[in-house]
Amino acid sequence: MPTSEITALSPSEMARACGVSLDTLRYYEREGLLTGIGRTDGGQRRYTADDVAWVQVLRCLRVTAMPVRDMRRFAELVRAGDASIPERVEVLTRHRQAVVRQLEELGDALSMIDHKLEVYGAPTSGIPDAETGGVTTTPTLHGQGARA
């Protein structure tokens, strides 16, 4: 559902729209990551297009392994308004550096797995090549440079 068409989603509709579980939405609220949720006269939560967009940001941060404490800090900064943009940039820059390191480590690990598959004579046809984005994927063990 395009976010421009969203006016007020129930919790189950919100979960579907964001690709998360109801438990995840509740968790985000408990952790202070998702705040200011509107309610019906009967007290049921109603989510907006802005809420959907924010949960998409939170999902991105979780997928990239940002710690919840850093997500909470980022959420606080967003709620603080435009004056906090320089601090938000710092948080995201640090996290981006961590993601790049993680991608390098995953590339190394994937290369090792591919190498082991070759050693074991396993057919690799049908296994798609990994897109490394130009990151070197020469495997090392614990950063010691040992290669098989």
- In angstroms, the CA 45 to CA 39 distance is 4
> What value does the CA radius of gyration of the chain take, rounded to a whole number of Å?
21
pTM above 0.85, yes or no: no
Structure tokens belonging to residue 124: 């690799």
DSSP of 35-75: ---EE-TT--EEB-HHHHHHHHHHHHHHHTT--HHHHHHHH
Where is the domain boundary, 63, 84, 108?
63
Number of structural domains the chain divides into: 2
Which CATH number goes with the domain that contains 21? 1.10.1660.10
Identify whether residues 52 and 102 lie together within a single domain.
no
What pLDDT band is residue 123 in, cutting at 50, 70 and 90? Answer: confident
- Per-residue pLDDT at 118: 87
What pLDDT band is residue 147 in, cutting at 50, 70 and 90? Answer: very low
Identify whether residues 43 and 115 lie together within a single domain.
no
Identify whether residues 99 and 55 lie together within a single domain.
no
Across residues 118-139, what is the average pLDDT?
A: 65
